[in-house]
Structures are given as structure tokens and as C-alpha cells.
Structure 1
Amino acid sequence: MSGKVRLHAAAALAAAVLGACAPSSPVQPSPTLGLGVDTAGFDRSVRPQDDFFQFANGGWLARTEIAGDRASTGSFVELRDQSQAAIRAIIEEAAAGSHPAGSTARKVGDLYGSFMDTVRIDQLGITPLNEQLASIRAIRDRGQLPETFARMARQGVGTPLGAGVSQDRGNSSRYVVSVGQSGLGLPDRDYYLTQNERFGAIRQSYTAYVQRMLELAGTANAADAARRVVAFETELARVQWDRTRNRDANATYNPTALTALQATTPGFRWAEYLRAAGMNGVDTVVVRQPDYFAGMDRVLAATPVQDIQSYLVFKLVDGAAPYLSREFRDARFAFRSGVLSGVQQQPLRWKSGVDVVEGSLGEAVGELYVQRHFPAESKARMEQLVKNLVEAYREAIDELEWMSPATRAQAQEKLANFSVKIGYPEKWRDYSALEIRPGDLMGNIRRAQEFGYNRMINRLGQPVDRAEWGMTPQTVNAYYNPTNNEIVFPAAILQPPFFDPNADDAVNYGGIGGVIGHEISHGFDDQGRKSDGAGNLRDWWTAADASAFEQRAGMLSQQYGAYEPLEGARVNGQLTLGENIGDLSGLAIAHRAYRRSLNGGQAPVIAGFTGDQRFFLGWAQVWRTKYRDQALRQQLLTDPHSPGMYRTNGVLVNLPAFYEAFNVKPGDRMYVAPEKRVRIW
């Protein structure tokens, strides 16, 4: 699932809507329930049989302008704007109130206030980084790099490698240290390695940006230093895995003895790195990209120490720029938002301030958010809806003609062991150890980074906390976590266009139902299928069934790989495969659940649209999106989600129910011959 929006009217959830989710609920057409579709957004000059996305959203696309501070707009962006406004009210109340020192509310207010005090921030310039800069400039030889990289990781600064503590994908009952590639300043390795005019221009702009940051940091001969930094990152890019390979759950799971890892990197002392990183005492780590580290070691050995110093200075200043004086902020915005995404103006300061507080004290804000916007009955109703979608999935598995009984039984066992989290955590995060000081923005950011880092490494040796959440309640999104075998839906997902309490059931099944089905399907996508009901990476498939799955997944990959939203820029069918499987299977299951809710009855016709037609319109309006070209190109290279138009049309051409609903025939542009349509789950 992609995008972030907020809960707007969860308190007004209508019993008639979610009550109809249960199979036993009778169909009672009601004049009080509306269409739930933005018909003003239609482009009626386009037939739905030819381009359903354009039919459902073309009017909106034609009249909508992307705001100057945005790279794209659409349902997610519009609702995220509303979310920010609601959270702003919570934060500014905390900032204006009189709260005891050390209280969570005081921390929220003081952090926000320190970010909004641009007069003080501009006066300080780069001085908040002086101590860290001095530490980097004190490096004299490569032997100091492991400790330096570890120290910078604690402070949230990027280096050529990343290390963390997370659940062991091979044994989900324990935590393990894992290490992986990192360190690039451009969005993807292709930005360094692709040889054409467009990427060449971006590299030139990036080099100029690195130079500007080094100049602001007081680096001598910054122009030459910048060229060397970009050259260093280019060599790292050459030995990194691409994003498609990094999706492979098996390829990226390599438990390795520390002695064996050390043998592949003779110039990098892992024991020193792990000790300085707070991960001392481990003798085995999970290595995500084994050959990368041998390559990294060679690149470090071939690079002068002074160049590595310049690189680390840049990484420090680039990451800190949003919290420094105007010249840093302006330079970062001009490249990272302007050049890379086409954004024309910086967001209002309060919007960035809200993001900073959410990034550092997200659950503290979330607890207040839930109290105001998410009543207990909403959680209960969402649980019923999820239950109905899971039951529909159970039925679908039993009907799979390509899967053997043995594998089908394992799939049913995995589905039966799904854990479902709705709304908010059972236990809120404790921020008592996080110190926030008025007027000390950079210090607050650094302490918040270290607080989060310490919380992560303190997991080592502890029981796995399966109640932990990976998103805040105010995030409108959802996710599947394979090591917990869980689907998670934050409180804010219950809002139009996902869920409209005043709309007929059909559009809600096409919206929130499609989202629920999508997340369930991630447990059975091309990577999720590799773990079992306990969350462990295990092959539970017969060879014939695995081959049948891969044949169908390959067809879907080829279908999406043929889409070309911009000249010379296609969807990466392999990178987006998991999300495309989630969309395809999830919407099919949501439609099955919608049909179950009718109990054999007929849905009412509303505004001339049948129930099935409203269902598909509900899906299409969720994904209405408009992009700047730069942002769309970046998404195609880096994002595992397909662009919105293909999350609509790419799914529908495979669903027989869509053909029936809109009478799609041979000769229509949306028509695909039955033997070429893909059904996986």
C-alpha cells in the first residue's frame, strides 16, 4: 500500500455499511446511502471499456494543478494535507500549553517550537555540527573508519553500510543483527551508471550540490572534493545490488559467521564496528548482499582517506540541512526536491515541523490523535470487515485449480495464523528517556535519532515484541509484515476515498476492501509466499505448484513491463511484482467479499450504476494521481508500486467481473483475451 492520509469521519461510521460485511446481513437498499463516487471527476468522452482510469478520473486530471510544494497530487496527497492540519492542531496545543517539564506533551511542544524558531536557527549557521565535523576531520587512516561509521549510524548519518537489529527471517522468535549496502546520495544506483543525457544532467546537478554543501561546511577546494565524492559513490554503486535483486527474500538472507564475513573484507574490522555500534558479542550476522561488502572493502582501500572524509562531511551536512540555516535548506531543496522531483516551492514551515515531530515522537502524537478521532466502535467494525475479507480469501484458496491439495493446506494454515492489528498499538511507546530541550533543534534531532537507535539495539537478547507497530495510528496506509505474518491497518485508513460512511457498500468494498485484500495478498505474493504461518522463511510448496505460481507471476511481470507512462521509461515488472500481485489478488478477493455480503440478492442501482460498477469505480478513485514528470521517472526507478493509472487499469484487464460489469468486448482497448488474463490467488 502506498500514500498517507488521515481519519476524517470515523466517528460517523454507519452501522448499515459495516454491518453488511457479515454474510448474514440482508440486503436493504437505502436511499440514505449515496453513490460515494466523484462523478465530477469523470471524463465521459472516454469509454470505460477503453481506459477506465481516464473515464473515472480524467475530469479531475484535467482541472487539477499540482501544488508548487508537491511532486504529485491525488487522493493520498489531498488527504495527507488534511491529516497534517489535524495533527498541527494537536501539536500547537501542546506548544501553547503549560505542561510539566519532562512530560510527553512538553516534549512535543518544545520540539516543534525549536523547529519553528528560524531566527535562532539562521543565527547558528553550521555551528550545531562543529563537534561532528571536527571528529570527521580528525580521521587519519582507514583503521578509524569502522568506529566512525558506527558512531555516525547512531546519529542517523548515512555511510556505505547499514546495520540493524530485527526479527530473524529464518527464526522469527528471535532478534538478529543484519548488515546491508547503503551510502548513495542519489536515489538509486542507476542514477550513477545509466549513460544518457538525462542522467548525465542530473549527475552534473548533483556534483554542484555536493560542492555547495562542502563549501558551506568550510571544505577547502570544494569543487575538486565534490567530484571525488561523486566518483567514490559511483564506485559504490557499481558493486551494489539493484532494487529487483534486493526484493528476493532468499537471496538477501545469508546468516554468516563473523569470522567468515571478516575474511571477505580484510581492510574493515567488523568487531570494532559492532562494538562501537552497540552490537558487541554477536558471532553471526545476516548479510543481505554478500558480494557487496567485498566490493565495498576494495573501494575503501582504493580511495584516499581525504576523499572519504569529504564524503562523510557531505553525508553529515546533507542529512542535517533541513535543521540548519536558510542557505543549507535552500540548497538541499533546490536539488533534492527541485531537480529530482520537479517541486517548485518549499512547503510551509509548519508542515515540515509536523513531519519532524511525527518522525521523533510519532506515537505520542498518535495517542492524542486516537483519543480525538478513533472511537472504539470503529475498531470493532473494521475487525468485522477484515474478518469477511479473510473468509473470502479462504474460499478462493480452496478453488485454485492450479494448486495441489498439499500446498493448498499449507496456504490455509498460513491464512489461519494471520495476525490482525487495527487502529493503534496495545501499548504506547515510552519516550521518557528522550530529552528534548527548548531552542536546541539540532541537538533534539540528534538525541531523537540516538533514542530510536538505542531502542533498536536493546532488542538483542530480548523476546520478540510482536505487539510493536511499524506505523503510527495517524498514518493512512497499511502493511503486511512477513516475520510476524500480520496485516496492520492504522486508525486513519477509515476515511474517504477508502471508506465513506455515507456511501453504498459497493464503493467501500472497492476502496477499503481492496486495501485489506491487498495486504492479505502480500502474504502470498512472490516474496511473501516464501514464509510460513509462523513467519519463518521456509519453502512449503511442491515443485509443480511453485512452477505454476511462477508462470502466472511471470505473465503479470511481462504485462506491467510493457507499460510506458513516459517516453523511454517503462514500469519495472519485476520490481513492482509484489505490489501488482497484491493489487490483482486483493481486488479479486474484495469483489468476492462484496458478492458474499449480498447473500444472493441484487445490489441496488444508484445514479445509473450497478453494484459491480460502483465497486470498480471505488477502486479507481482511490488511485487517481497526477505526477510531475521528474517525480514519475524517479518512481519508475525506485518504487515497488506501479503508478496509479496502472494500479487501476493493469488490475482490471485481468478480472472477469470487470468485463461483465462494463460489457467489455473484443475490440475494446481494455479487452485482453481470456487465455492471457492473469489469476494468481
Structure 2
Amino acid sequence: MQQLQFAAGTTSESSDHSRLQDDFYNAINADWLKTAKIPADRPATGGFQDLVENIEKTLMADFAAMQKQSPSSPLIGEFLKYYALAADFEQRDAQAAAPLQPYLRRIAKYDNLADWQADLKDWLLDGLPVPFDLDVDADMKNTKINALFASAPSLFLPDKTYYAADNPSGPQLLQVFQQMMQQLLEMAGYSTADTQLILEQAIAFDKSLAPHVKSAEESADYSKMYNPQTFTEFTAHSSNIDFSRLIPELIGAQPEKIIVTQPKFFTAFDEIVTTENFSLLKSWLIVNTVRSMSGYLSNDFREIGGIYGRALSGSKEAMKPQKSAYYLAAGQFDQVVGDYYGRKYFGEAAKADVHKMVVKMIGVYKKRLENNDWLSASTRQKAIVKLDNLGIQVGYPDTIKPLFKQFTVNTGASLLSNAMRFAHITIADRFSKWNQPVERTEWEMSANTVNAYYHPFRNIIVFPAAILQAPFYSLTQPSSANYGGIGAVIAHEISHAFDNNGALFDEFGNLHNWWTDADSAHFKELAQAMIGEFNGIPFAGSQVNGKLTVSENIADAGGLSCALEAAKGETDVNLTTFFTNWATIWRTKAQPEYQQLLLSIDVHAPAKLRANVQVQNFADFYRTFNVQPGDGMYLAPEKRVSIW
């Protein structure tokens, strides 16, 4: 694993001291930015991505060696079988489109909505495309029990805003998508004339969805997610799809309510999915089916099926076949791979050490809440109650989900056949959890994932093993470097419990207002100030959407503030080291196309701005680096934003 270490009292060796006051991020990462190269098969490189690549190389080497030995456990054994199937491109190339054909023949038999409706339960359980989404998750107002959720499907373009007449990227991307699908459909056996008609109809259907679905900015507002409807109210949304029959078939009973996250979409549903539009829907099913399965077929299918994704991200090449096989297999057996990685490369001792650090950061956060000068006593006390009930998950789960024991590989069947069987098992398992107790401690990220998260419905923070290494964390780094890295990440996730979305949920994860009216109004003013601090900042030929990114920016600000206080409490405190590591963990070099995409749909601000804008809010930063009025990094005191 890469080890990036800093001596106490110094900045990174790659920093340019002369520019610290004008562009902190660029100065700290100067030499790295000059020499870093984006891998041809990736859209970006940087702190997070370096760790991803190191883990990928390590695990690919480990699993290659394991293929020649007896598996260490039955679950690893099944993973290795699946990995071998995914990596057998000789067989995949020989099979070509054959594994796909049963699904296309299935669609071909549908002459009308009634035909599709008769097969809809199995179609949906097989994970095949539908123009709506049904899922099971914790009831947002009673998070001890799982409820049924209904939402809208994904679009061909990344966001509904790409369909707007004034968005020049939309038509360009749609053309790339169309050209890619033309090749895939013809490889699947459709004639050129049929392919052209299928694409014309599928795109027309997709465009009919776009006006009624939420944009990324709208979806970022959790307060608009909870729209419960009775079973009768929901099933009345369609006179063509028999939801009153489908839903009990899926969950085994008639639910009292369905939580609709996109009510506008279902209000329009009966105008979209109609008898007259069935030919459009059928073509949309074909396109989505072929596209989603292309990665499980021959190498030609896999490479061509990634053209649109590479256009979106700016990646120059497809992944090499063997690497793609690793990601495909590791994605299917994510907890199995994560368990192996976490236990071998992280271990119980590190797990206990980081758990202590999380507890310590919660303690610092609690003290800050107790001393908060803008919350009333009532709201402050309830915030502390929420913090006291925050669940902590570090490293890797104690046990792997029982679901993975059902993933037995048929080595005589195709890769796609196995994948589809696993999809059916997974989806059936999810629907079986309706009206059952929520498993609060269930992990939603594997231990080999370089990331972390807060779950508002469960009030838990989760730190997979993969992020718990240098430059984020190391026993050999000074404490200030650790606080500027993993300390800020830990406190970032804690802060999500109190961002504009997390603050809507109580200590049990229930959507419940625990704020006084005055405190809520003031918090909204502070959140608006954070929106204003980022909104409109020029970046990558476009500009930042402060409303889309506000929750993550509030979490960054709270995380850095809390970590800074913790660092200052250590005997070896060095704020140069603290701020330097903060800028280092965000170092990123990305393709322009990827930057544009993220500006449109990502709830996170660009990495450079996460590093630069946040430090401008802290007086300690100005003192540490002698930043003065007129310097590029200077922000007038009245414009600085402080929330948590």
C-alpha cells in the first residue's frame, strides 16, 4: 500500500511554498500535479484513486495465487469460480451473443402490455428493466420496520437537465449513446433497419420520462422523499400496469402504504405507460436489456458497451479484460472479497484502534455541541441525544450476510446465466424483507471500498478498512496528519447527522422534527450561506451548483472544524501538517468530461474546492500560513461560514 508520510512541522515535499497564500491546494500538490498521469482506463487519478488501484493490484495478485490452491473457505471458493468464469474470455468470445438471446426472445413474445404484465413479476425479480422502481428500505418515520418504496427509473442521459433545449451536451451524448447501441443491437442479431427503429422508439420513450423525474439537485433534498400513499392511491396511478396484483406477488401481502419518492412521476405514469406507447416501451426494454448485459458477454460486447460511459467520463480506453473480470466478480461477491481484504490487510488490532479514534472524535463533537452558541438548550440536548445514539462500524462486518451462501456457481453455465440467477436471489431477498425488522448493523459498502458513509435512516457511520490507511491514517504519521486525514473524514460523516438532510432525522433515524422553529430558521440561514459560498464558483468551464452540493459542504466544514479542534488538543500538534494533509487527501487530476459530469450530478463539490474553500473559513489557517488581505486564499471574516 502507498505510504505518504509527513514529518511534523513540514509541508509535503511536493508543495510550492511561494504559492500557499494564493492557491493552497495547487501549492501543496504542485509537483504531484505536474507529474501525475491519469490511467487510460480511468477518468481520474489522485488520493482516493491511488488507494483503489493499489488494492486492485494486491487483490488481483492474491486471487491469481488462490486459483492454484484449495480455497480458504466455501464462500471464497464460489467467488473464485465466478471470477474464473468472468476471466475466461476465450469461452465468452466463443459464446458471443448466445447467452443474451433467451432474454431477447422473451421480449419478442410480448405483443402488448397484457403479455408483459403476465410476466412482470418474474421479469422484475430477474432484475430486468422496468419504467418504475420498487424497493424495500427502512420506513422513514418508523425505521425499525422495512417499508415499500416506489421511485422513477434512470434515464439514458445522466440527468433530466441534459434533455433541456439549452444543454448542448445532451444531443452530443445521445448521439454517442445511439451509435454505441447501434453496434450492440446489430451484434445481438437485429437488422440495421430494425435497430434504427428500436433506437428511435426507445429514445422517444426515454424522453417521455424525462419531464416527470427529479433532477440530481431535486433528489438531493431528502425532505421531499417521504410521500406515503395508501395501496389504493398508489395502484390507481396506472390503468395499464396492474400494481394491485404485482405488489402482493412481490412482497407476499397487500401493504397499507407505499412511500413514493417521486410523486410527480407517478401522477404522470398513466400518460407514459399506455397501450398506444407499448411499441416504444418494448424498444426501451430491448435497449436497456442489451446494454445492461453487454458487460457479461464477449470482449467485443464489453468494450463496445462501455463507449458511452467512457464518453461521459473521458476515460481513453476500456479496462483490460482481466481487470474488468476482477471488478465484475468482486462486485458480485463484494462482502466476501471485503471480508478477506479487511481481515488480512486491516485486522482486529487496527479495527479496535480506529474505533477508539471514532469514539474520541464523537467526544470532541459532543463537547462542541455542548458549547454551541446558536442552538437553544432544547435543540442542543436533542442533538446530543442523537450523537449518543450514533452507531459505529469500522473496518469490516463481524459476519458476512447469509445471502452470499446462496451464491453457488454453475461452472457449466455462462457468466451471464450465473449473474442473472444471483440477481434473482438478491432481489427476491430484498422484497422478502418488507415489513420485517430493519437490520441496523447491515453494511452497504464492502471493506475494500475506499469510502465512508452516514446512513440517516439508521443513524450509523461506517468506515471500511480500505480508507483507513495513509495518507488518511497511519500509526507512523504525526497525529496532526491523521486528524487532517481520517479525523476530518470521521467528523465529516458525523456531521452528516446534522447537515440539511441528516438534521431532519432523529436519534432512531426517523424523519422527525426535533428542532425549535427559531433554531431551524437559523440553521437554514447558515445552510443558505454555505450554498452561497460555493454557488457559481467557476470550475472546468462551468460552475458549481451550491444547492446540489450543500449537504456535503456542510459535512466537510463540520468535519474539518471538529478535526482541527481534536488536533489542537494533542501535545504534538502542528497545524501546518494538519492543513497540508487535508489538501493532500483531495489531490485529484481528472478528465474534463468527468469534471463536467460531476458538476451536473455529484452532490460533492470538486476536490480542489473541498480543499481550498473550506480552509478559508478558519482563523487558524490564516495564522498558520500568514494569509493576508489581497492574497488569493483570503476571505473576509464576514463571508466565512461556520455551522458546526
Q: TM-score, normalised by structure 2?
A: 0.95
Displacement of 1:470: 0.8
Which structure has more relative contact order (CA 8 Å, sep 6+)? It is 1
- Tell me which of 335, 340, 358 is aligned to 2:330: 358
CA distance in structure 1 between the aligned counterparts of 2:118 and 2:555, rounded to whole angstroms: 42
Q: Deviations over 1:75-117 (max 9, x none)?
A: 11111011111221332234322459x9222211110110111
Displacement of 1:200: 2.1
CA distance in structure 1 between the aligned counterparts of 2:49 and 2:592, rounded to whole angstroms: 17
* CA RMSD in angstroms, aligned pairs only: 2.1
Q: Are 2:639 and 1:665 equivalent residues in the alignment?
A: no
CA distance in structure 2 between the aligned counterparts of 1:38 and 1:445, rounded to whole angstroms: 48
Q: TM-score, normalised by structure 1?
A: 0.90
Instruction: Name the structure 2 match of 1:590.
Output: 563
CA distance in structure 1 between the aligned counterparts of 2:385 and 2:118, rounded to whole angstroms: 46
Instruction: Name the structure 2 match of 1:115.
Output: 86
Query: Residues 11 and 580 of structure 2 are in contact (CA less than 8 Å); yes or no, is this contact kept in structure 1?
Result: no
- Tell me which of 403, 427, 430 is aligned to 1:453: 427
Displacement of 1:276: 4.6
Displacement of 1:522: 0.3
Question: What amino acid is aligned across from residue 167 of structure 1 in structure 2?
Answer: A
Unaligned ranges ≥5, structure 1:
1-6, 11-31, 604-610
Displacement of 1:326: 2.9
Q: Deviations over 1:347-376 (max 9, x none)?
A: 122222221222111122222223311222
CA distance in structure 1 between the aligned counterparts of 2:637 and 2:544, rounded to whole angstroms: 23
CA distance in structure 1 between the aligned counterparts of 2:445 and 2:76, rounded to whole angstroms: 20
Q: Are 2:327 and 1:376 equivalent residues in the alignment?
A: no
Instruction: Name the structure 2 match of 1:259.
Output: 232
Instruction: Name the structure 2 match of 1:318.
Output: 291
Instruction: Name the structure 2 match of 1:581.
Output: 554
Q: Deviations over 1:412-438 (max 9, x none)?
A: 111111111111112222322222122
Instruction: Name the structure 2 match of 1:616.
Output: 579
- Tell me which of 511, 530, 542 is aligned to 2:504: 530
Displacement of 1:534: 1.1
Q: Deviations over 1:635-659 (max 9, x none)?
A: 1111111111011012111122212
Deviates more, 1:584-593 or 1:255-264: 255-264
CA distance in structure 2 between the aligned counterparts of 1:479 and 1:114, rounded to whole angstroms: 32
CA 143–195 in structure 1, closer or farther in 2 if over 3 Å, else same: farther
- Tell me which of 183, 187, 209 is aligned to 1:216: 187
Instruction: Name the structure 2 match of 1:647.
Output: 610
Q: Deviations over 1:588-647 (max 9, x none)?
A: 00011111233xxx64xxxxxxx1111001111000001100011111111111111011
CA 62–153 in structure 1, closer or farther in 2 if over 3 Å, else same: farther
CA distance in structure 1 between the aligned counterparts of 2:300 and 2:284, rounded to whole angstroms: 20
Question: What amino acid is aligned across from residue 530 of structure 1 in structure 2?
Answer: L
- Tell me which of 423, 448, 451 is aligned to 1:477: 451
Instruction: Name the structure 2 match of 1:422.
Output: 394
Q: Are 2:367 and 1:404 equivalent residues in the alignment?
A: no
- Tell me which of 360, 365, 370 is aligned to 1:393: 365
Instruction: Name the structure 1 match of 2:154.
Output: 183
Alignment of 1:459-470 (within 5 A): 459-470=433-444
Query: Residues 159 and 183 of structure 1 are in contact (CA less than 8 Å); yes or no, is this contact kept in structure 2?
Result: no
Question: What amino acid is aligned across from residue 428 of structure 2 in structure 1?
Answer: N
Displacement of 1:58: 2.3
Q: Deviations over 1:546-602 (max 9, x none)?
A: 1111111111111111212122x211111111111111110100011111233xxx6
Identical amino acids, percent of aligned pairs = 30
Q: Are 2:296 and 1:304 equivalent residues in the alignment?
A: no
Displacement of 1:297: 2.4
Q: Deviations over 1:304-360 (max 9, x none)?
A: 3222111111111101111112332222222221x2111111112222222122211
Q: Are 2:23 and 1:60 equivalent residues in the alignment?
A: no
Displacement of 1:399: 2.4
Question: What amino acid is aligned across from residue 435 of structure 1 in structure 2?
Answer: T
Aligned partner of residue 138 in structure 2, secondary structure = strand
Query: Residues 511 and 619 of structure 1 are in contact (CA less than 8 Å); yes or no, is this contact kept in structure 2?
Result: yes
CA distance in structure 1 between the aligned counterparts of 2:239 and 2:490, rounded to whole angstroms: 48
Instruction: Name the structure 2 match of 1:172.
Output: 143
Instruction: Name the structure 2 match of 1:96.
Output: 68
Question: What amino acid is aligned across from residue 607 of structure 2 in structure 1?
Answer: G
Question: What amino acid is aligned across from residue 316 of structure 1 in structure 2?
Answer: T
CA 50–506 in structure 1, closer or farther in 2 if over 3 Å, else same: same
CA distance in structure 2 between the aligned counterparts of 1:560 and 1:9, rounded to whole angstroms: 32
Query: Residues 340 and 630 of structure 1 are in contact (CA less than 8 Å); yes or no, is this contact kept in structure 2?
Result: yes
Query: Residues 157 and 170 of structure 2 are in contact (CA less than 8 Å); yes or no, is this contact kept in structure 1?
Result: no
CA distance in structure 1 between the aligned counterparts of 2:488 and 2:167, rounded to whole angstroms: 39
Q: Are 2:529 and 1:555 equivalent residues in the alignment?
A: yes
CA 163–45 in structure 1, closer or farther in 2 if over 3 Å, else same: same
Displacement of 1:409: 0.8
Displacement of 1:147: 5.4
Displacement of 1:36: 9.7
Unaligned ranges ≥5, structure 2:
none
CA distance in structure 2 between the aligned counterparts of 1:147 and 1:528, rounded to whole angstroms: 41
Aligned partner of residue 667 in structure 1, secondary structure = coil
CA distance in structure 2 between the aligned counterparts of 1:595 and 1:156, rounded to whole angstroms: 51
Query: Residues 11 and 576 of structure 2 are in contact (CA less than 8 Å); yes or no, is this contact kept in structure 1?
Result: no
- Tell me which of 409, 434, 439 is aligned to 1:436: 409
Displacement of 1:521: 0.2
CA distance in structure 2 between the aligned counterparts of 1:488 and 1:510, rounded to whole angstroms: 18
Aligned partner of residue 569 in structure 2, secondary structure = helix
CA distance in structure 2 between the aligned counterparts of 1:154 and 1:9, rounded to whole angstroms: 45
Instruction: Name the structure 2 match of 1:281.
Output: 254
Displacement of 1:153: 3.4
Deviates more, 1:369-378 or 1:649-658: 369-378
Question: What amino acid is aligned across from residue 395 of structure 2 in structure 1?
Answer: G
Aligned residues: 640
Aligned partner of residue 208 in structure 2, secondary structure = helix
CA distance in structure 2 between the aligned counterparts of 1:474 and 1:654, rounded to whole angstroms: 33
Displacement of 1:149: 5.1
Deviates more, 1:611-620 or 1:558-567: 558-567
CA 563–37 in structure 1, closer or farther in 2 if over 3 Å, else same: farther
Query: Residues 498 and 508 of structure 1 are in contact (CA less than 8 Å); yes or no, is this contact kept in structure 2?
Result: yes
- Tell me which of 140, 148, 164 is aligned to 2:111: 140
Q: Are 2:52 and 1:80 equivalent residues in the alignment?
A: yes
CA distance in structure 1 between the aligned counterparts of 2:264 and 2:57, rounded to whole angstroms: 46
CA distance in structure 2 between the aligned counterparts of 1:592 and 1:51, rounded to whole angstroms: 24
Query: Residues 146 and 270 of structure 1 are in contact (CA less than 8 Å); yes or no, is this contact kept in structure 2?
Result: no
Query: Residues 45 and 589 of structure 2 are in contact (CA less than 8 Å); yes or no, is this contact kept in structure 1?
Result: yes
Question: What amino acid is aligned across from residue 555 of structure 1 in structure 2?
Answer: A
Aligned partner of residue 446 in structure 2, secondary structure = coil
Query: Residues 530 and 537 of structure 1 are in contact (CA less than 8 Å); yes or no, is this contact kept in structure 2?
Result: yes
Aligned partner of residue 96 in structure 1, secondary structure = coil
Q: Are 2:205 and 1:205 equivalent residues in the alignment?
A: no
Instruction: Name the structure 1 match of 2:208.
Output: 235
Displacement of 1:455: 2.4
CA distance in structure 1 between the aligned counterparts of 2:568 and 2:215, rounded to whole angstroms: 41
Query: Residues 423 and 489 of structure 1 are in contact (CA less than 8 Å); yes or no, is this contact kept in structure 2?
Result: yes
